[in-house]
């Protein structure tokens, strides 16, 4: 008890000289905690989705008659954010196209747009289509033909395909430089609609963006397409609204969880970023069936963020020694040895969310704190050994355990 009293006294003296991350306050306040899930609206969306889904599935099956139409339709499903409804069908379709690819390339002289689309969609789904197919678009000097410059659709398609390169594919590196340079000027010469679409691609390729944001943007773009499929467009809109309601419900639950913990008041030095963290996790897997994984990954990340802020931007080295010891003990009895109330709050949250997983992470953070305190610069191998824990990938892997085949 005397040790605890001495630590508390030292903590009071340190409060005036603590480090601070100077993190800005949350932008969201209680925006999502008060959300009331509209069950009737959700059920209406769900019924419509199921009805339209069968129609769209029929279109996908019909498109198989022509491999190019099949690829184009699969690409549409992906860009509109509804491909997850047809994962097995898409996988089977692409397998058939890839297996028949040598025959298709021999029989058809595909243009730049079509070949680039085939390449991108196949590679995005894990099929290793060779990049040598683009050699046909080079001139005798080994440069991409200048005659392609005005083919906006083809240039854009090749630009997006160039991001699917692997190390050593020089032709795709060259394609990237060639297409990017020309697209920048084509964007200014095109219509407002097409220009915006090109600028979006230049800012961030579709497959590298946040899926829900990319889907929302493409729905608006596709809606203005005169050749659009209205049934597919309606399906995409309704499904987007339906999934958005689920995401808002999850964020509401997480916001209330966060508010109930009262960390914003108890740990004011730490970042209040529950919304941003959920948005990040949502970018990894947005599909409805992964709700539990999203919720758990967000909670894990939020607690890890609190730990990170405590170690990096608030606690003293002496306090962290006792905090790390408590984490290693993983026992409620250790709480009495913690020198500060804010540490007790955080420690109890850890016990409630983790079992033994926090031990390695806490020790890893403590090792990094010792390095900082001693001005020690670790070797790469030394850092990697410790970083396997502090990088937190193991915790994310654990949150995916509910994923079903």
1-10, 85-94, 141-150, 396-405: range with lowest mean pLDDT: 1-10
User: Do 111 and 204 lie in a common domain?
Assistant: yes
Contacts of 206 (CB under 8 A, 6+ apart): 79, 160, 214, 218
Q: Write down which residue in 239, 257, 286 finishes a domain.
A: 239
User: Do 14 and 47 lie in a common domain?
Assistant: no
8 A C-beta contact, residue 63 and residue 109: no
Contacts of 72 (CB under 8 A, 6+ apart): 63, 117
pLDDT band for position 364 (cuts 50, 70, 90): confident
Q: Write down which residue in 188, 219, 239 finishes a domain.
A: 239
Inside any domain, residue 131: yes
**CATH number, domain at 303?**
1.10.600.10
User: Do 231 and 309 lie in a common domain?
Assistant: no
C-alpha distances (whole Å) from 64 to each of 92, 223, 234 are 11, 24, 22
- Total domain count, the chain: 2
Inside any domain, residue 405: no
**Domain hosting residue 234, numbered range:** 39-239
Inside any domain, residue 178: yes
- First-last CA distance in the chain: 54
Inside any domain, residue 259: no
| pLDDT (mean) for 367-379 | 89
Per-residue tokens: 311 = 């170690």
Question: What is the structure's pLDDT at 363?
Answer: 80
Inside any domain, residue 18: yes
**CATH number, domain at 214?**
1.50.10.130
pTM greater than 0.85? no
Count the Cβ atoms, other than its own, within 10 Å of residue 172.
18
Question: What is the structure's pLDDT at 313?
Answer: 84
8 A C-beta contact, residue 56 and residue 232: yes
User: Do 287 and 319 lie in a common domain?
Assistant: yes
User: Do 233 and 285 lie in a common domain?
Assistant: no
Instruction: Please state, for a pLDDT cut of 70, what percent of the chain lies above it.
Output: 89
User: Do 149 and 217 lie in a common domain?
Assistant: yes
């Amino acid at each position: 008890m005397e040790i605890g009293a001495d630590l508390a006294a030292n903590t009071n003296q340190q409060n005036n000289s603590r480090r601070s991350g100077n993190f800005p306050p949350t932008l969201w306040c209680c925006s999502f905690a008060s959300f009331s899930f509209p069950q009737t609206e959700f059920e209406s969306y769900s019924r419509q989705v199921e009805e339209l889904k069968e129609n769209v599935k029929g279109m996908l099956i019909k498109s198989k008659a022509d491999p190019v139409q099949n690829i184009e339709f699969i690409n549409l499903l992906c860009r509109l954010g509804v491909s997850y409804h047809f994962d097995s069908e898409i996988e089977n379709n692409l397998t058939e196209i890839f297996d028949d690819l040598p025959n298709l390339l021999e029989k058809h002289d595909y243009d730049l747009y079509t070949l680039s689309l085939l390449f991108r969609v196949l590679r995005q789904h894990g099929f290793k289509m060779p990049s040598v197919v683009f050699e046909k678009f080079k001139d005798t000097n080994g440069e991409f033909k200048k005659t392609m410059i005005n083919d906006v659709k083809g240039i854009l398609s090749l630009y997006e395909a160039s991001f699917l390169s692997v190390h050593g594919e020089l032709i795709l590196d060259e394609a990237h430089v060639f297409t990017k340079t020309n697209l920048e000027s084509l964007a200014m010469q095109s219509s407002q609609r097409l220009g915006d679409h090109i600028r979006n691609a230049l800012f961030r390729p579709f497959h590298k963006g946040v899926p829900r944001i990319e889907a929302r943007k493409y729905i608006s773009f596709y809606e203005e397409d005169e050749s659009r499929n209205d049934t597919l467009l309606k399906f995409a809109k309704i499904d987007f609204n339906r999934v958005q309601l689920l995401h808002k419900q999850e964020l509401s639950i997480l916001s209330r969880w966060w508010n109930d913990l009262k960390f914003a008041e108890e740990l004011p030095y730490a970042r209040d970023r529950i919304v941003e963290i959920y948005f990040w996790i949502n970018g990894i897997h947005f599909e409805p069936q992964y709700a539990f994984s999203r919720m758990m990954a967000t909670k894990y990340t939020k607690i890890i963020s609190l730990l990170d802020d405590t170690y990096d931007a608030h606690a003293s080295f002496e306090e962290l020694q006792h905090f790390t010891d408590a984490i290693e003990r993983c026992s409620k009895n250790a709480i009495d040895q913690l020198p500060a109330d804010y540490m007790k709050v955080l420690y109890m949250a850890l016990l409630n969310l983790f079992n033994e997983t926090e031990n390695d992470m806490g020790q890893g953070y403590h090792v990094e704190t010792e390095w900082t305190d001693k001005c020690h610069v670790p070797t790469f191998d030394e850092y990697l050994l410790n970083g396997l824990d502090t990088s937190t990938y193991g915790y994310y892997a654990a949150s995916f355990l509910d994923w079903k085949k």
